[in-house]
Structure 1
Amino acid sequence: MNQEIEPYGTWKTPLTLDTITDTENVPDLVDVLVDPIRTTVYHIEKRPAEGGRNALLHTETGRDVAGGGWDVKNAVNGYGGGPAIVHDGIIYFSHGKDGRVYKVDADGLNNIPEAITPENPSHKFANFDVCPTDPTLLICVFENQTGARSPSDVVNSLAVLNVSTKIVSPLDSDASFYASPKFSPDGKRLVWIEWDLPDMPWNGTEIWVADVLTTPGPPHSLLLQNPRHVAGEHGKISVAYPSWLSNNLILFTSDISGFENPWVYDCGAGEAKPVFETAMAESFGYGSPPKRLGWSPYAVANAQGTAAVFTAVKDGRSVLYLVDLTTGVIEALPSPYVEIEHLRPLQSHIVFIGKKADAPPALVRCTALSSTEPVFTNLQSGPHGSTLPTEYISLPTPMVLLVPHEIGTQPVHVVYYAPNNPAYTGPPGEKPPCVLNVHGGPVGFSAQSLNTTKQFFTTRGWAWLDVNYGGTSGYGRAYMERLRGNWGVVDVDDCIAAARILSAAPHNLVDPRRIVIRGPSAGGFTALTALSARADACRGVFAAGTSLYGISDLRRLAGETHKFEAGYLTMLVGADPQVWLARSPISHADKIVAPLLILQGDSDTAVPPSQAEGMVESIRARGGVVEYKLYSGEGHGWKCRDTIQDALKREIQFYNRVLGIEDTEFQVSDDA
């Protein structure tokens, strides 16, 4: 194909707003569920065209088992996760609109969901497990916001749901948070995770196990006796993802070595041991315990509980390992997936969500686990993710940059995506404009899987740069600890340095005059801080910025955010409100000279609209340049098709106007 010579940022591409959000192509895979009794696979997908509804589907047939209008999600800890479980043909799920738990026949014989918890908008439920000895009893994570005037008033606990009587019975509420309650196969023990503020789950957690007793009815319920500490330490050691290998053995991960590695606890001996004789410098998890509940980075691969398939993070991408849990022998399984999530056991196989760098995500079954050539089969009934011809896809180029800090030169991980369109090339001597993207979290992670927002820019002649700054998960605890007490410093410095390094010799990859910084949530905080509090340090580096539901006022956030986020400030900034004030972008709004775009949802509980509006008012009061859009019905992240399209359109029009790019498809309109 003969390539036309056209300025970067003006190229025509088949990846339009409609193709990104087309109903048939964009349902986003959220989770995988397996009925352990019937070995049937189900999955949850988010549908932007249906207002961001999460639908639960029978994977083989594609049938929506609850039916239209039912939203399989929850808001426990503000982020939710673990919204459903399937057991012997019965599905229990949390409904996003009212927070209640419902049950429905998975076979569709009676697909009218029945509520099994009382009507109470202050109650939220997640992370279910069914009692093996009495399937009418479910254990779960229960969040009670009744009468809460501040985040500290919210009560989180382990609770029992009695399906027959529809009674909720709290079991344990001594800790700030709970996660991953699971019965032993014989139902005689329960394991769970707990942690206390100001710890976050990646900072310090504990795993506990207790004996389970059934109380006589009516109504019957459960009691916990003889609780024992398994592993983990508040503030020092993070443990996660417990599951049962047998009635006595618990498998989990611990970062005591500096990286999440698998461990096994023997209930009889009361002793925990690492699976590997020598710890591996890879994170056998998602880099850190995630915000959302219900995740799993491994699946037990046989009925004997002697082997498991793990996903680990190596060089910024997911890898698969078959691990012998008795000998510690580990075998790499070749895999085409750069991001692997939600591993679940399926008889002698496993299923998971697999994402490639050059293809939409897929629901995958992995077989032949004892072979070095595992077989991967796509199980989903239809396409997911916007399709794009392979020749248009910009592939990730991971790099490690050396950045000076007060503690010395430190490696910083970034991922670069070059402009790519087979029909075009840029003029000789011209360098492309660049979007520098800062992930949320703030201890999140920018993966290398196919992302249509990135390709939306690269196919138009833009470069895209993901900065996995110091504090990012996936590179070990020491890398994450760089951000402790230094949020708004280390992350900003790493972004500034990455922009300077890649726009100068010997790289010369992007135009140093046309770099924009953007980020969602905590990434928005970094972008705002770079342009305000650190304006002198980044002068001439960023031509514009975009904050998507980003944080601007740390002091105000402390009283407005939900309980889960309450530990952020103490851990990442410190306990001094004066430091919160000094680190807040709104305190330095007068220093902002670069044009700014702020996009916000009016239903956001993690970063309320007041965070955006305070910054907008401050900038406008002094005559600065800021554009603002508040989206009705949107929370912490976009879920609706119209919002996704409008936000992306506004963002690219904003950059085109600021940088003087004449993109005929996205000419700047009066209402941009």
Structure 2
Amino acid sequence: MNAAYGTWTSPWAAESITATDKIPDLVDVVLDPITSVVYHIEKRPAEGGRNALVHSETRRDVLGGGDWDVRSSVNGYGGAPAIVHGGVAYFSHGRDGRVYKINVDDNKLPEAITPENPFHKFANFNVYPGDPGLLVGVLEDHTGAKTPAAVVNSLCILNVSTKEVLFPVTSDDASFYASPTFSPDGKRVAWVEWDLPDMPWNGTEIWVADVVPVASPESLSFVNPRHVAGHHGKISVAYPSWLSNDVLLFTCDVSGFENPWTYDCIAAEASAVFKAPVAQSFSYGSPPKVLGWSPYAPVDDAVVFIAIKDGRSVLYRVDIAAGTADLLPSPYTVIQHLRTLAGNQVVFVGTQADAPPALIRCTLSSSSTEAVFTPILSSDPHNNYLPREYISLPQPISIPLPAPEAGFVHVVFYAPTNPGYAAPDGEKPPLVIHVHGGPVGFSAQAFDRTRLFFTTRGWAWCDVNYGGSSGYGRGYMERLRGNWGVVDVEDCICAARALASAPYNLVDPKRIVVRGPSAGGFTVLSALSRYAEEAVFAAGASLYGISDLRRLERETHKFESGYLRMLVGDDPEVLVDRSPVSHADKITVPSLILQGDSDTAVPPSQAEGMVESIRKRGGVVEYKLYAGEGHGWKRRETIEDAIQTELQFYNRVLGIESY
């Protein structure tokens, strides 16, 4: 059928985005190291937005359903809410913050192992090898905290039998802790720590200490701490795990890219695995904002690593002793949550450009460059849900930056795709410029439910990995230092203009809209206000985005309370000037602002201040506040309403009559 772009009828409805019964929304992989049984955490938008712990082979809800929400909010973004060890699951319950245990094969209710305390939050657990009744974890204590700086983070010991929380167990007082992990013999423990104003991708340190059992109360003490690697503000280290009782593996970005390193506890020496640094990030792509990420997994005679190459995930088999890396060809453009299964097998969540995430078992062969990938849990969208011909494939493009700045802005373009339609000759499609959050996030080349909602209706889509995005090395990230609200906006404008002109000529220059969540929302609002004279965007949508940097500095959580110093600087006049709310009078195009009323990272006051300012000056802005939602949508009704509201908004602005 011949029909204008944007008017096409799509089989991908708003309900398709939340249909996790057909396409599970996988949050994390949890492996029992004793039984080698695979579990995963999946989102349940239809069940109040809770997260469920699921036995992957049978897809059985380990907790039996109900209101159990396997979630942590440590550092505001959470992560690492659960472990399973010897058939026993330990998890943080998002509704009350307490830690619970349950035998995964019982039909009993979970049992709390931490006292009631509304000021305590827990995450990132590891079981002590000498006594499975003792766990180390990260504790965030809000007791008496009237400011973000007053929140206390520490490592703690959880005594499962006595239900006591014993802290702190280290003698230092870093701002944040992550990734506590015991050596196999339990004699040592390693962890990551960092101090404000650093973020974990700017400068962290890894420490190792000796573990000493304490008799009364039964606990553990960490003594003789030694600095392993990393430097505040200069070098980021992450993801420590033990290759043996004496050798620790981690990543370090001293070369400008995250590469594998080891630390020999006997020699007290850290060294790079590769003789010469590799100009690829051996990591997730996105920086470690969420706890518990795992970009590698040791196997019998090597370590399988995720790396980012040309904007997509690849797998390497790394020989630690030889310092070599062999590429393992795979069909997955995004690989996450990599865990060791057993022997020469690993598991991970793999996403293809034209297929949704699946839980994959990877079996390595005797060849260093071969592997077999077998789905443990997947869906079949092509036959039962969405035929392949509806899925727009990624087109990565590196667009030259305008002079005098050298280099490129990296984007991924997706063309309108629907086999039932063709556009009239000569017509160019409307374009959505999508700005990821972070701001040092990363838009991967993968199946995306929201993007499909637009491309199947005749919209083009462009993910902009602007300067500051991860996955392209520390130098590319550093482009944003001091320049937030400048580099990100100018890169998005550069991308929009390039795609609408020669040599690309892919989209209609008069029908370009910009949208983004969180920090991406800040970029959107900055583009519409401070850069209004550029006249590139016909409309913009901010999803729980930032509008007032001064207010953000006062109201945000501890994790990001020093972030503005790096992104903008200390000058209060710059904070005012970079705040979109200060330039609301310049906005000449319609705006849409969507916000959750329970957001602690970007409180509702950010959205409401911007809405009030735009309306006071006679501008056009639509606003929706979603009850019970935090920083990102969890509930089915919110997800569906938000995407429908956004599309209808663009259609009204551009005069598109969709069917």
Verify same fold: TM over 0.5. yes
Paired AA for residue 359 in structure 1: A
| CA deviation map 1:26-85 (0-9, x unaligned) | 431001111111111111100111111100011111111112121000100000000001
Give the drift of 1:337: 0.3
Q: Secondary structure at the match of 2:541?
A: strand
Counterpart Cα distance in 2 of 1:381 and 1:418: 26
Q: 2:288 and 2:461 mapped to 1: Cα distance?
A: 25
**Equivalent position SS for 2:520:** helix
1:193 is aligned to: 192
Whole-Å separation in 1 of the counterparts to 2:225 and 2:451: 48
The one-letter code of the counterpart of 1:144 is: D
Structure 1 233/72 Cα, relative in aligned 2: closer, same or farther at 3 Å? same
CA distance in 2, matches of 1:270, 1:201: 24
CA contact (8 A) 2:381 2:387 kept: no
CA drift of 1:307 comes to 1.1
| Structure 1 letter corresponding to 2:607 | A
Task: Trace 1:106-505 onto structure 2 (pairs within 5 A).
Answer: 106-107=104-105, 109-170=106-167, 171-172=169-170, 174-217=173-216, 219-287=217-285, 289-302=287-300, 306-348=301-343, 349-371=345-367, 372-380=369-377, 387-404=385-402, 408-505=405-502
Q: Distance in 1 between matches of 2:489 and 2:538?
A: 15
Q: Distance in 2 between matches of 1:141 and 1:83?
A: 10
Is 1:553 the counterpart of 2:545? The answer is no
Q: Which residue of 2 aligns with 1:618?
A: 613
The alpha carbon displacement at 1:405 in A equals 5.6
Corresponding residue number in structure 1 for 2:89:
91
Alpha-carbon distance between aligned partners in 1 of 2:93 and 2:365, rounded to the nearest angstrom: 36
Give the whole-Å Cα distance in 1 for the aligned partners of 2:252 and 2:341: 25
The count of residues paired between Structure 1 and Structure 2 equals 653
Give per-residue Cα distances to partners, 1:487-513, cap 9 Å, x unaligned.
Answer: 000000000011111101111000000
Q: Unaligned 5+ residue runs, structure 1?
A: 665-672
In the alignment, the residues of structure 2 paired with residue 600 and residue 549 of structure 1 have an alpha-carbon distance, to the nearest angstrom, of: 5
2: CA distance between counterparts of 1:91 and 1:21?
A: 27
Q: Output the amino acid matched with 1:471.
A: G
Letter paired with 2:5: Y
Question: 1:289 offset after TM fit, Å?
Answer: 3.5
Tell me the SS of whatever aligns to 2:613.
Answer: helix
8 A Cα contact 1:202 1:288, kept in partner: no
CA distance in structure 2 between the partners assigned to 1:445 and 1:580 by the alignment: 25
After TM superposition, the structure 1 stretch with the greater mean CA deviation from structure 2, 394-403 or 27-36, is: 27-36
State the 1:126 CA deviation. 0.4
Compute the TM-score of the two structures, normalised by the length of structure 1.
Answer: 0.96
Give the match for residue 668 of structure 1.
none
TM-score, normalised to structure 2, is 0.98
**Residues 247 and 384 of structure 1: is their aligned pair in 2 closer, same or farther, counting only changes over 3 Å?**
farther
Cα distance in 2 for residues equivalent to 1:336 and 1:267 = 38
SS in 2 for 1:527: helix
Q: Do 1:24 and 1:383's aligned partners in 2 also have CA atoms closer than 8 Å?
A: no
Which residue, out of 14, 17, 41, partners 2:14? 17
Identity %: 69
CA distance in 2, matches of 1:245, 1:220: 28
Aligned-residue offset at 1:623: 1.3
- Residue 412 of structure 1 aligns to a residue whose secondary structure is strand
Q: CA deviation at 1:451?
A: 0.4
Q: Which amino acid aligns with 2:346?
A: I
Cα separation, partners in 2 of 1:384 and 1:211, compared to 1, 3 Å: farther
After the TM superposition, which residues 626-645 of structure 1 pair with which residues of structure 2 at under 5 Å, given as runs?
626-645=621-640
Name the CA distance, whole Å, in 2 between partners of 1:487 and 1:49.
36
Deviations 1:562-602 (A, max 9, x none): 10111220011001222111100000000000100000000
The range that moved more, 423-432 or 170-179, is 170-179
Match of 1:37 in 2: 34
1:308, 1:152 → 2: CA distance? 39
Please give the secondary structure, in 1, of the residue aligned with 2:16: helix
* 1:20 to partner: Cα distance: 2.2
The residue type equivalent to 1:240 in the other structure is A
Show the counterpart of 1:669: none
- The alignment partner of 2:515 has SS state of strand
1:559: how far off?
1.0
Aligned partners of 1:27 and 1:581: how far apart in 2? 43
Q: Give the Cα–Cα distance (whole angstroms) in 2 for the partners of residues 329 and 615 of structure 1.
A: 52
Post-superposition offset of 1:22 = 2.5
How far apart, in 2, do the equivalents of 1:18 and 1:487 lie? 35
Describe the superposition over 1:132-158 as per-residue Cα deviations: whole angstroms up to 9, x where unpaired: 001111000100011111100000000
Asked whether 1:73 is paired with 2:71, we answer yes
Q: Is the Cα contact below 8 Å between 2:287 and 2:440 reproduced in 1?
A: no
What is the distance in 2 between the residues matched to 1:106 and 1:164? 18
1-side partners of 2:269 and 2:118: how far apart? 42
The aligned residue for residue 667 of structure 1 is: none
Q: 2:601 aligns with which of 606, 612, 616?
A: 606
Q: Does the 8 A contact of 2:307 with 2:314 survive in 1?
A: yes
Which deviates more, 51-60 or 286-295? 286-295
Structure 2 contact 17–449 (Cα < 8 Å) conserved: yes
5+ residue gaps, structure 2, are: none
1:19 CA displacement: 2.2
CA separation in 2, counterparts of 1:286 and 1:31? 13
Q: Which residue, 550, 558, 562 being the options, matches 1:563? A: 558
**2:23–2:378 CA contact under 8 A, matched in 1:** no
Q: Tell me the SS of whatever aligns to 2:165.
A: strand
Deviations 1:93-131 (A, max 9, x none): 000000000000011x24310000010111000000000
> Which segment drifts farther, 370-379 or 471-480?
370-379
Q: Is the 8 A contact 1:391 1:422 kept in 2?
A: yes
* Alpha-carbon displacement from aligned partner over 1:436-481 (angstroms, at most 9, x marks no partner): 0000000000011100111111111100001000000000000000
CA distance in 2, matches of 1:144, 1:6: 58
When residues 599 and 26 of structure 1 are mapped into structure 2, their CA distance, relative to the original with a 3 A threshold, is farther
Aligned residue identity for 1:86? V
Across the aligned residues of Structure 1 and Structure 2, the Cα RMSD in angstroms comes to 1.3
Q: Determine whether 1:52 maps to 2:49.
A: yes
Q: How far is the alpha carbon of 1:429 from its aligned partner?
A: 0.9
The amino acid that maps onto 1:215 is: V
